[in-house]
Amino acid sequence: MKVLSLTEPFATLIKEKKKFVETRSWKTNYRGELYIHASMTKPSKTDLEDEELMSLVENKEMNFGYIICKCVLVDCVYMTKEYINNMKENNYQEYICGEYSVGRYAWILENVELLDKPIPTKGHLGVWNYE
């Protein structure tokens, strides 16, 4: 199974179905089922101080070092100025949950499902395989 590691609170935002677009500096041609892994990396000070962002995961447990849900990666969209403006104006919650700038990529996630039991594992960079 393919896996993507994210820092918190972003993995939990996907698990809680509050985030459906993962923003990345690189594109992927992969489409299909994808596990979401919460990395061991602690949230950045900037993210922790972002009250709007952190209010979305208020009272939610962070799952550092676990695969916590699965979803389907359905598209990878190159971000244009128009795409970013549309996201900011029409999907503000999603907008504050990512890094939107021209030249980055929006990975579109659907069908988020919680796992019955989180899977403890070490994360990796990029899209990686969990056996």
Reported as a single tens digit per residue, the pLDDT across 28-38 is: 999 999 999 99
19 CB-contact burial (10 Å; exposed 0-12 / middle 13-18 / buried 19+):
buried
Residue range 2-129, CATH number: 2.30.130.30
Give, in degrees to the nearest 5, the angle at Cα 114 between 106 and 5. Answer: 45
- pTM here? 0.94
Domain ranges (residues) in the chain: 2-129
What is the percent of the chain where pLDDT is above 90?
92
